[in-house]
Structure 1
Amino acid sequence: MFNDNQIAILNQELDGNRVKTREKGNINLSYLEGFDVIETANKIFGYGNWSYSITKLEQVSQEQNQNQNFVVCYKAIVNVIVHDNGHLKQIHREDVGTGTGIAKTLADAHEGASKEAVTDALKRALRTLGNQFGLSLYDKTKNHQSANNNKHYNQPQNQPMQNNTPQDYSQLTNLGLTVMHQGQNLVVIGENIFEKKNTIKAHGFRWDGASKTWYKPLAQQAA
């Protein structure tokens, strides 16, 4: 279903820089933002290789608080589909989320609550795919976040190399490979990557067996 590069990324520890916190009562909660998990899915699976649909969206409650604000709660069920690169196989994930909207107008409260419920359900459905989608944040007995945010291959802080980089990687891109920023390193990703290892090594990249990724420190790139 997933290729070797996708599996390697999904098995990596969660980058602590992506984790946000908020207070709920006297408890600090750790979470990933909605745009972050969508961006991560786009980078790992590809823009056309995953999608989600809203299976159910319903209002749970509505009231006014002491400040005369409307308080509305929604529940959503979201179904996520992830395809392989050839769209020959697919997996489904589904989960439920809730959202609360508080606003002076009823329309704004409904809008905020429904959007939050859908985002919450989407994040909970994607978490079943591992740490890159925040699964470890639900395990209170473990800490799966990266202890060193400068460690190799913190994912998914990836951006394609710009054309003004000091070294020319056109030979790699011509082979169907991509050179990306990842934390304090450059990494090479792509299909059938081991068949192209000699060319990758010739550009100064090294193999890391733990993360199963070809990398080069940015400091080396700058030199």
Structure 2
Amino acid sequence: MFNNKQLEVLNTELNSSRIKTREKGNINLSYLEGFDVIETANKVFGFGNWSYTISKLEQVSQELNQNQNYVVCYKALVNILVYDENHIKLVNREDVGFGSGIAKTLADSHESGAKEAITDALKRSLRSFGNQFGNSLYDKSRNHQNQAKQQNKQSSHNQQMPPSNNQNQRNSTQAFNQYEYQSLYNLALNIVEQNGFLIVVGDDIFSKKDSIKACGFRWDGKTKQWYKQLEQGVA
């Protein structure tokens, strides 16, 4: 079905530097980002030799949260088609995804929720092609989480944080009210404290910018991060 070069790439062990982690409740989740799996598909199958269609996009729910932000949830069905070098269809895959959008305006929450659902369905469809698309992350016997944590920790250490007048780095204990950012946690985002700042981390983070800005975070172009200075005197 696939040529030897494609099979070689597909059978290669997943590089731990591609794996991201986030917390959901008391569970640590490992995942690949949406742009990452698209770039991998272009590398493995070739530009123009694969495509996807949105078979279904359906709104699931809509409500206002405690911060008076709109919360709109979607589910999507995405179909993947892969072709050979003569553009003859080799195989197709299909899977479902879920997404939620949280924003001050109804239009922005619809946009974020729909995009997140499509990205989730796309990633789930592609993972059926093996380890390079994150299928191995579902294998509980593997140690992907620890590898990803070490990689993310090193990346965070190397990144330059936004300038701060407070040079005293706080310890790793949380010194902020998690409930204040529940809307972001509902979007599968997480808040971490670094060098006197709160930093937003998670998957497809820029597509959720309206929800993040609604919580008072600002975008730093140099570090490519959403940040917010930790208030002084917060216990």
Measured against the shorter chain, the TM-score band is 0.5 to 0.7
Aligned-partner residue type, residue 67 of structure 2: N
The answer on whether the counterparts of 2:81 and 2:91 sit within 8 Å (CA) in structure 1 is yes
Aligned to 1:54: 54
1:100 aligns with 2:100: yes
Runs (4 or more) in structure 1 with deviation over 3 Å come to: 143-146
Aligned to 1:9: 9
Give, in angstroms, the shift of residue 89 of structure 1: 3.9
Aligned to 1:132: 132
Aligned-partner residue type, residue 34 of structure 2: G
Residues 27, 14 of structure 1: alpha-carbon distance in 2 compared, 3 angstrom cutoff: same
Aligned-partner residue type, residue 30 of structure 1: S
Aligned to 1:36: 36
Could you tell me how far apart the structure 2 residues matched to 1:39 and 1:62 are?
33
The answer on whether the counterparts of 2:81 and 2:89 sit within 8 Å (CA) in structure 1 is no
Aligned to 1:78: 78
Aligned-partner residue type, residue 49 of structure 1: N
Where 1:9 maps in the other structure, the secondary structure is helix
Give, in angstroms, the shift of residue 142 of structure 1: 2.7
The answer on whether the counterparts of 1:77 and 1:97 sit within 8 Å (CA) in structure 2 is yes
Note the alpha carbon deviations across 1:150-198, whole angstroms, 9 max, x for none.
xxxxxxxxxxxxxxxxxxxxxxxxxxxxxxxxxxxxxxxxxxxxxxxxx
Give, in angstroms, the shift of residue 90 of structure 1: 1.6
Residues 122, 17 of structure 1: alpha-carbon distance in 2 compared, 3 angstrom cutoff: same
The answer on whether the counterparts of 1:94 and 1:125 sit within 8 Å (CA) in structure 2 is yes
Larger Rg: 1 or 2? Answer: 1
Where 2:39 maps in the other structure, the secondary structure is helix
Aligned to 2:90: 90
Could you tell me how far apart the structure 1 residues matched to 2:132 and 2:83 are?
17
Could you tell me how far apart the structure 2 residues matched to 1:88 and 1:51 are?
13
Aligned to 2:111: 111
Could you tell me how far apart the structure 2 residues matched to 1:137 and 1:126 are?
13
Give, in angstroms, the shift of residue 88 of structure 1: 2.8
Gaps of 5+ in 1: 150-223
Aligned to 1:219: none
Output the TM-score relative to the length of structure 1: 0.63
Q: Map residues 132-151 of structure 1 onto 2, 5 A cutoff.
A: 132-143=132-143
The answer on whether the counterparts of 2:99 and 2:120 sit within 8 Å (CA) in structure 1 is yes
Could you tell me how far apart the structure 2 residues matched to 1:62 and 1:141 are?
38
Gaps of 5+ in 2: 152-235
Could you tell me how far apart the structure 2 residues matched to 1:60 and 1:139 are?
30
Q: Map residues 140-219 of structure 1 onto 2, 5 A cutoff.
A: 140-143=140-143
Equivalenced residue count is: 148
Aligned-partner residue type, residue 13 of structure 2: E
Where 1:36 maps in the other structure, the secondary structure is helix
Aligned-partner residue type, residue 49 of structure 2: N
Could you tell me how far apart the structure 2 residues matched to 1:132 and 1:25 are?
27
Aligned-partner residue type, residue 2 of structure 1: F
The answer on whether the counterparts of 1:126 and 1:133 sit within 8 Å (CA) in structure 2 is yes
Could you tell me how far apart the structure 1 residues matched to 2:21 and 2:110 are?
25
Could you tell me how far apart the structure 2 residues matched to 1:139 and 1:100 are?
26
Aligned to 2:173: none
Aligned to 2:123: 123
Give, in angstroms, the shift of residue 21 of structure 1: 0.8
Aligned-partner residue type, residue 53 of structure 2: S
RMSD (Å) for aligned C-alpha atoms: 1.8
Percent sequence identity over aligned pairs? 72
